[in-house]
Amino acid sequence: MSFLGNLSSTPKTRVYISVTPGVGLEMIQLDLAGGAVANYAVRDLAYNETSRDIADYEAFKQAVSEMYEELGVNPKCEVVVNMPLVSFGTMQLGLLLPNDAITGAIQSEIEQTYIFRRVEGAIAWQDAPSTSANTPGKETRQILYSAIQQPVVENLSNALTELGSVLVGIETSLTSTLRALEYMGVTSTQMQPNTTWNLMIVNSIGYSLVSLSGRNVVDYYEEPLAIKSFEGDEIYNAINQSAQIALMSYPANYLFIVSDTDQVSASLLASKIQTSSTVDMLENNSFKKQESLIPVSLNVLQSYASKISLQAIGCALADVSDFPLKFNFLTGSLKLTAEPTYTFTVGEQEITLTPSSAMKIVGILAGIIIVIFGGLSYLILPNLISATQNSATEIEDKLAAVDKEISTYDTSNIETAFNVKTEVEKGVQGNRAKLMNYVAAGEAIPKTVWLTYFMTQGNGLVDIKGVSTNVEDVYVFFKNMRDSLIGTKLRLQKLEMETSSVEAAIFGNNSQNYTFEITNMTNDQLNALLQTVTGNNAQPGSEAGAPNASAPANTAAPAADNGTAVPQSGLLSNEPINQ
């Protein structure tokens, strides 16, 4: 009895760490019963936004070691790490597609991004909670997926292993943020069943838009923006202008804005955003007015309280929250041990076991038993062999049937199959670029400038021709367009006085008009456009899209990406505006 009394089993302490750009490296433990932060520490840690990775893993390991010591945590603990979101998306796939084929389809999708062209991805996915794979008559399933770099998983595990810790989970900033919002109760209205709402998360490299129905994620959209390149209110105008089209694509009852960067105030953005949804917000940056997002215990330094992030709170809820969005990047991807461990005390000696080591002990005991009873095995061995052969034959027949069914869902057909969502997204992206160009022209044009030709394409190409009564307003219009359409590389292709002869230009009155052309197309593209508009009967000196006596009005059509005309109609068509 004394031996059994001294033998005890206690799971290791579990701590939660968040890599939070703009804050650093956070270590947190929650008092769930009291609804407060029990322990918290923070250290500076550089994060590379371009490679989406920790800049220095030696600095990461040193920071974790210091926080262990500060909070009195035994390094022989289990660790869950929150990392900034690298990749997230949705896919519609066949209902009977096997798991390996789904992973292959996701792998093909993420390899289109610059990060996963260079490194292998650790992929996690789940069926969207908003759709049921068991719905009668349903032939497709919606998949939510996320990915993180495989070297990041291994580097995190190696760094923690060197400290004596075990990596048991990796969370993403998106799932952690949603868990924290629900735990704090700030989105209780939005997370009601069958309530549509959008979550806009602004960070230092742009913003993302998460479309939800209650607690279930429906879709995801990400828009990169060089936040740090804007000054003053320019960033709010840029986000507002960019988000208008995205918000129209995801109509909802509510819009909730979270700002993770000190460059953008969620409160100010909420007052400027143009949407028919009810807007609410939360500052997850230096703009927050309260000392802490949630209560803190006396163990937490006051200087730390204001730094506690949504991501750290959500990470600490990873093992207790039932929020339906959950990814596990360690399954099949972590090559090092990531098992729970238990400490046994026998007298004064401490023994640590993992399930693997326990299985080894069981295996040894089983071996001893096999040796003892091995002499009896030859008596029943022939019958066992016969039964095993019959079972093996039956299994092989079943495998052949399964392989035949799997072959009908060959992953090589995934890329070539028609995908409605992909085609719609292509159309939205093309129309979005055109609409942005129309909006920019409408806002930028001075009163003394009028347009005679306006061509825009979904791939960003623009060609504008017009007339003005003075040169200064031409330059004003050109500067306004260039500032509105950032990154389009517009140039003033032509600026000429409009006159019928040299004598009229010299001896005429001062009320001369000036013709101009603004474009970002190359000369070859402009020549191809001219040939498309005028055909083989183009007269020397004629301009693409300019009205003349020999060409009927409204017949010009810009060239498509492959150089052929693509006639369309409507506000967002490739048809130029002729006046």
Residue pair 122/148 in contact (Cβ under 8 Å)? The answer is yes
Strand order in the sheet with 87-94: 87-94, 140-149, 121-127
The domain 11-192+287-316 is classified under which CATH number: 3.20.20.70, 3.30.420.40, 3.40.50.300, 2.60.40.10? 3.30.420.40
Strand order in the sheet with 14-20: 36-43, 24-31, 14-20, 78-83, 166-172
Rounded to the nearest 5 degrees, what angle is found at the Cα of 196, between the Cα atoms of 323 and 433? 110
CA nearest to 104, candidates 415, 421, 416, 419: 415
- According to DSSP, residue 230 is labeled -
CA–CA separation, 485 and 462 (whole Å): 10
In 236-287, DSSP assigns E strands to 254-259, 278-283
Rounded to the nearest 5 degrees, what angle is found at the Cα of 573, between the Cα atoms of 247 and 249? 15
Could you say which residues of the chain have pLDDT below 70?
1-11, 130-138, 331-357, 373-384, 409-430, 500-511, 533-579
What's residue 489's pLDDT?
A: 83
DSSP 360-400: HHHHHHHHHHHHHHGGGHHHHHHHHHHHHHHHHHHHHHHHH
What's residue 429's pLDDT?
A: 64
CA–CA separation, 564 and 560 (whole Å): 5
Residue pair 327/146 in contact (Cβ under 8 Å)? The answer is yes
What's residue 144's pLDDT?
A: 94
CA–CA separation, 572 and 566 (whole Å): 13
Rg (CA), the chain: 32
Residue 573: count other Cβ atoms within 10 Å of its Cβ: 15
CA nearest to 152, candidates 30, 47, 279: 47
Q: State the amino acid at position 465 in one-letter form.
A: K
Strand order in the sheet with 216-224: 216-224, 206-213, 196-203, 254-259, 278-283
CA–CA separation, 425 and 57 (whole Å): 38
Q: 509 to each of 466, 499, 512, how far by Cα in Å? A: 21, 11, 7
CA–CA separation, 270 and 248 (whole Å): 16
User: Does this model's pTM top 0.75?
Assistant: no
